[in-house]
Structure formats: structure tokens, C-alpha cells
Structure 1
Amino acid sequence: MPPASGINTALMWRWATPQAQQVLATRDLAEILRHHRRVHGWSQGRLGAHLGYDTSYISLLETGRRTLDDVASRRRIAQELGLPPHVLGVTDSADSDHTAMLQFGTSVVRLAEKARQSGHATAAVDELWPLVARLEARVADGHTEREVLTLLAHARVGLGAALGHILPEERLPTAARWTGKGLAIARHLDDPAFHSYALRMHGNELRKAGLRAAAVDRLSQSLATASTPQDRAASLALLARAAGEARQGDLFDSTVLDNQRLLDTVEHTSLVNPFSLHEIRLRGLLATGRLDRAGALVDQAPAAGMRSTPQWRVIEHVTAGRVLLVQGAQAAAQTRLVTAVDEAFAHHLPHQIQRVLRTPGIPADVRDHAGSCLRQLREAMAA
């Protein structure tokens, strides 16, 4: 993870490690000062110069022979050490703002995820972008306590996943970079469920960016670390997509079969449901050259159901249209592809329109319509 605004990456975790959490829980200024010196490798003189005190005064504070009861001084030390004021017993408007930011940010991340899963990725980006910017600035100022880094990791992953819906193909590496930055923090948080989720989201964005081998690797790790059947089903669905696109037929077949077995035992989501699995199977068969099997399945899609988002319905139209073209069913394919373009345009999904444009043998009028819609989306994004 690149350090924010030049922060030493090795010191990013000085207030986020389990040891630091124990120190901060004491609310003891002496313990906090000693921990800060150990992490940085500073002498008492160096810490004193940083805080504006002489060496002897730091020694007195660390040994408990001197206390610092002045609120303004404690607030200033908290600022210099990159800590919220309440850690040193100061409760003021700055600390209230910090607490409110954490509470508000957690709600933003949760609501943005719901928006993305319900097909409103643009709204999710609009909510997450200012939050990520604020958190990045806070980290750049040296505030790297665990709560801030945890929220930043969730926000980064959420932002990357949402951008992965609304960016055109040539800009999809941006989405993968954001999920990767979230994963870089998730590895350190001792939260296996979130680590598996971050691996899953990053792997999926790598797939969309065309980095298929890396996507299969991340998604395999996500599957291996999934702690619940629900998380396992989600990892299997995305791993099947990546394996199909990477033309790893055996892995594709086994993950589809495992996912099918789990469908009756887990809650259905926008990703884990029979309609989505049908599209995943259809696309994977097409990618691995099993055209006859894909053709036999194209008209057997289950009902979309309440859990299927506009994103998935567009994806299924594109995939079915491509299979129908291979079969020579020109009229049926055209109907599907035009529907896909219209719905992708309505829901601001430019890379789904680009999938239509890459379809071999696409009818000229469909190509013209898709090209016009894509230009309009790009112009809107530029504006």
C-alpha cells in the first residue's frame, strides 16, 4: 500500500496493533509516550523536541513523577501523536467530530453497499468518494488509530467495487487499485471475514480489468478463507466467472457445481441466486469453447426474481445475445443485445455496452446504437 502523503508505511500501524490497543486502553499518558518512542525508535530527547519539552520533563512524565493536567497541553500532545483527544482524557468538539465521523462513515459504507447491490452504483460512488478523501487526509495527518484504518479499508473496497460497475473498460484498473488498497489494510486487521470479502472484491475487479490469473489467485484465496457458507457461495460464484474467462475449464466446472449445491442452503443475494448462476455457467461455457452446451442452456434461464439487480439482467442479456449469434439466431440475438444496450445506458453501465460492441458478428445497426449510447455515457462522465 503506498503511504498516504509520504507517511512511513512501517509506522502506519503504530496505533492499530494489538499491543497499541492495549496501551491506548489504559489512557495512561506515560504508557502512551513510551509506546510511541518504542515504535519510532526515538530517544526521550527526540520525543521532547517533537512535543516541545526538554528531556528531563519527558522522563518525569514517563516515570509518573509529573502529571499533565492541562487540557490544552493534552489536546496538543494528542494532535502531535496522531490520536483522538479522548485517549488522553480530553473531550471537546474536535473529539466529538472524530466520533461522529466514525459513526457516520460506518453508516455511509453500509448504505453504499446496499445501493451498489441494488443497482445504484453511481449513488454509492457519490457517497463513498468524500468519505474516502476525508479518511485519506486524516491518515496523511498521522491519525492511524485502528478505527480510522478499519473504516478506510471498508470504504476503499466499497468505492472500488462501485467504480467497477460504472467505469468504462479502459478505466477499470482504477477500480482494482481501490479494492487493492483496501485489501492492503484488511490483511492486518485480524478480521478473517472482512479479509475474505476484500479478497473477493479485489479478485473480481482484477478479472474485469483483464488480469485473469491474478483474479483466480485472489478469488481462490477468498474461497479458502471464507468462514461461512454464505461467503463461500459468493466466492465460488466469482471464482467461476474468473475461471471461465481464464479458460480453466476444470476449475470452472467444479466451482459451478459447488455453487449449485450451496444454492439451496444459503440466503439468495444479488450474486448468489439461480439467475446469476445461469449467466455465469452460460458465459463460462462460451469462453471454454463448449458452444453446444451453451446453446442448449440459453433459453433455460430461471426467472430473474427479486434478488436480481439491473446489472445482472443486463449481463445476462449480453451473454445470451452472444450465444444466440454463435447459434445463428440473428433476430433473437439482436433483440437481446439491443435490450442490453438500452438497459445498460439507463443504469450507467458503460463496460456492458463495450461487451456488446466486442461481440463477434454483431449486426451493424446494433453496433451503431451501442456506439452512440457509449459516447453519451462517456460525455456525461467527462462532464
Structure 2
Amino acid sequence: MKSSGEKGNETEPQAENGPSDHIERTGESAGPASEPWAVPPKLSLNFPWYTPQGSRVLRSGDLGAILRYYRKFRKCTQRRLSEMVGVDRTLVSLWETGSRRLDSIPDRITLADRLGIPYASLGISGVGQQDHAEMIASGESVVRLARLAREEGRAADALRELGRLVRALEERARSKKARRADVMLLAAARAEIGVALGDLLPEAHLAAAVQWAGSGANMLKELKGEPRMWAHALRMQGNELRKAGDLPQAVKTLQSAVEVSPDLGGRATAGLLLARAASEQGNIGMLDRCVEQCRHALEQDPSISDFFINPFSLREVELRGFLLTGRIKDAERVASQSNTTSPAPPTWGVIERVTMAQFHLATGEAKVADSELRAAILDAQTLALPHQVERAIRLAGSANLHDLVRIGREVVEGMSDPLMGPGDVA
């Protein structure tokens, strides 16, 4: 018997004594890791439950629909899913068709952990919940660690840990027990999820990143008296809007972030992101003003330097801005300046490499650009940065480097979710 949605041609065997409902607990922990980042389970970069369709399926609470969506998303058969979960394949078919219930709480927990399904979606409440004060304290650490992980090129790790925190906080909110501290933490975590997704998703699907970052920013706007957190969320939302191609809204959001930021570092960070959006708009005046303000801020207080605002990132933004606004002589001046800052974070290294390839193409050095783009694509693949691969593809296409275009498209295809069509990215 084939279950609904099964695309393969395999038949469903009948076990002699019927399938067992018991899920074997071998090879993986049945519960969440006790410490963030401690031997995390392998997680695909296209985490299914963050897509709009995945969220809708989870809200249904229908085990069969959840399993069918997971298999469709992962392109796996019932046999493969049964191996992942540790049950007979026939049992997966029975679950999917609703012919067999999964009533055991321990087995539901195991299934949830192995497939990354939020506990509440399988009817599990309060399992593994920490004391409320402890959850808030550890949750703040998770947000900080997630930000560091993303900045180090480990956005998938960040997404996994943030997802656990958000699910716990949302369950608390649904139970009407959420306090102000819970809502603040939930908003901050949602904004960080948006940024992590912005690193992991190809450009065609960046609306999901915008949606998550925006939901965090909107929540923080309602929590009056938290301008620093609100400004940070606005910065992240504005940057994802830029990457998604909505430049007018990106500029508007980043201008708001500059105005809301209560400190020099926050204003400088928002200004740097605004400079990038302005350069893509071709707004030379805004670009130059923002770059000069950022340079002055770093000179005024070098301690504000962080992942987003630092001499390395300022140089890259200025160089790309000159290229995008057709000022090649100015770009040559910036490119010739040696970068004496400390080693850049891995993500910034990839971004600059693509920008340097753009510079070499603009100055007629196609062979150098070819070498830079090849290296950038490999580095971006390693760090799972599809947006940078897509930048490289566009540059390669403009220079008729067809082999690089092919290589880049194959890399992006390996990172993409082919099932999240336009109708799913609301």
C-alpha cells in the first residue's frame, strides 16, 4: 500500500507480526542538548519548519501531514525516513495515512528530536522545560552565542539553537504565561533567526528572512523603552530587505534604525548598512555621506568596531559603492590601499573577495577576476553563503565566464529548497 504523497515505486511490505510503534533510541540523543553548541545533530541548511508552508503544516498538528511534508522537503522515501527514525517502513506509511496513532510521549519526543519538529506540534507540552528564570537567563546567552556563531560563519548552528529557544517561548506565550522579559527575548530571537536565514537562503527565498527579522522588529517597537534592541532589529530587517531587492523599503528601515539608535555604535552600524543600500540605489549623495559619517565614528571611538562596523567592512562597502556608482578612479584608489586591520571574519572575507573580483572586471583584469570568483564560490560554499555565490554568478555572467556560471549554479542548487515556490514565500 502506498501512502498519500509517496512518489517512489516502492511497495509497502507487511511485517509478519505488524510494525512496532517503538522508536529505537540508537545513535542520537532522545532529548535536546543540555548545552548550546554541544555536539549538535546534523541539520540541513534548508530547515523545513522555517518555511511558510512548513509553519502551516506544523500548526495543523497532523502527524501524517507533518511527515509527508518533511519527506517532500527532504526528497526522501518512506524507507529513508524509517531509517532516520528507527522504525519499520510500514509504520511510517500507517502514520502518514492516519491508520496508526503515535501515543507514546517518549517516542513522540524521539521523533521530534530526530526530525527537528517542535514538541508542541506533536502534542507534547512542558517536556524538558526549564525553570522560567533559568530559561530567560540561558535564552539571553543563546541569542548572544547565536550571533557569534553566525558572525563566524556558522549560521546553521545559530538557527538550530535559536529555533529551540523560540519554540519554548512561543509555547509559553500560547499558554498566556509570557511576561515582558519573555516577549523581549522572543522578539530578539526572531530577529536573529531572520539574519541567520538571510545567510543561508538563496535570494529567491529571502522574503522568509525578511519576515522573521521584521516580526522581531515589530514586536520590539511595541515594547516601548527598548530603543537599543529595536534599533538592532531594524538594522537586521533593513539589511535583509536590501538583500531581497526591496531597496526603497530597505533605505527607509535603515534610516529609521539610524534615528532610533541611542548610541554611536548603533548609528554607525545602521549607517554602514544604509551606505550599501544607497549604493545599490545609485544614490551617490547618501552613499558618500554615510561612508564619511561611519569613518568619523570609527575615528571618534574605535571601540565601537564590531562584526558589521569596522575598518575592513567600511573599505569593502566604499569600494563596492564606487563600483556600483561608476566611479572607477575612486575605486582604484580604495583598492590600492592595503588593509592593515586584523583578519576579517570569514563571511567578510568572502564578501570582499567577490567585490575584488568585481573591481578586477571593471579594470579589465578578467583572468584575475576569474581566479577570485572561483575562490569566492568555494569559500561561500564552505560557509553556506548562497547570496555571495549568486553575486559571483552575476559577475561571471557579465564577463561571459560561462564555466564559472555553471559551477556557481550547481553550488546554489545544492543549497536551495526547490519546493519553496513563490506562493510559499509570503
Q: TM-score, normalised by structure 1?
A: 0.71
Residue 333 of structure 1: aligned partner: 369
Structure 1 residues 95 and 175, CA gap change in structure 2 (3 angstroms): closer
Deviations 1:149-169 (A, max 9, x none): 111011001111111111111
Structure 1 residues 381 and 312, CA gap change in structure 2 (3 angstroms): farther
- Matched letter for residue 412 of structure 2: L
1:148 aligns with 2:182: yes
Contact 1:321 1:333 survives alignment (8 Å): yes
Residue 249 of structure 1: aligned partner: 284
Residue 79 of structure 1: aligned partner: none
Contact 1:160 1:179 survives alignment (8 Å): yes
Deviations 1:27-57 (A, max 9, x none): xxxxxxxxxxxxxxxxxxxxxxxxxxxxxxx
Which moved further from structure 2: 293-302 or 320-329? 293-302
Displacement after TM superposition at 1:381 (Å): 11
In structure 1, C-alpha distance between the alignment counterparts of 2:329 and 2:285, rounded to whole Å: 17
Residue 310 of structure 2: aligned partner: 273
1:164 aligns with 2:198: yes
Structure 1 residues 289 and 311, CA gap change in structure 2 (3 angstroms): same
Which has more radius of gyration?
1
Q: CA RMSD in A?
A: 2.4
Displacement after TM superposition at 1:371 (Å): 2.2
1:195 aligns with 2:230: yes
1:284 aligns with 2:292: no
In structure 1, C-alpha distance between the alignment counterparts of 2:286 and 2:297, rounded to whole Å: 17
Residue 370 of structure 1: aligned partner: 408
Deviations 1:41-84 (A, max 9, x none): xxxxxxxxxxxxxxxxxxxxxxxxxxxxxxxxxxxxxxxxxxxx
Residue 15 of structure 1: aligned partner: none
Contact 2:202 2:415 survives alignment (8 Å): no
1:269 counterpart SS class: coil
Q: Which has the higher helix share?
A: 1
- Matched letter for residue 349 of structure 1: L
Contact 2:238 2:250 survives alignment (8 Å): yes
1:187 counterpart SS class: helix
Displacement after TM superposition at 1:99 (Å): 2.5
Q: TM-score, normalised by structure 2?
A: 0.64
Deviations 1:166-208 (A, max 9, x none): 1111111111111100011111221111111111111111111
Identity among equivalent pairs (%)? 36
Displacement after TM superposition at 1:119 (Å): 2.2
Contact 1:278 1:301 survives alignment (8 Å): no
Unaligned 5+ segments in structure 2 are: 1-54, 57-126, 421-426
Displacement after TM superposition at 1:377 (Å): 2.8
1:194 counterpart SS class: helix
Residue 357 of structure 1: aligned partner: 393
1:372 counterpart SS class: helix
Q: How many residue pairs are counted as aligned between the two chains?
A: 291
Displacement after TM superposition at 1:301 (Å): 4.8
1:240 aligns with 2:275: yes
Structure 1 residues 379 and 198, CA gap change in structure 2 (3 angstroms): closer
- Matched letter for residue 102 of structure 1: I
Displacement after TM superposition at 1:272 (Å): 1.5
Which moved further from structure 2: 191-200 or 370-379? 370-379
After TM superposition, the structure 1 = structure 2 runs for residues 193-232 of structure 1, keeping only pairs within 5 Å, are: 193-232=228-267
Contact 1:121 1:165 survives alignment (8 Å): yes
Counterpart pick for 1:310 among 326, 334, 346 = 346
Displacement after TM superposition at 1:231 (Å): 1.3
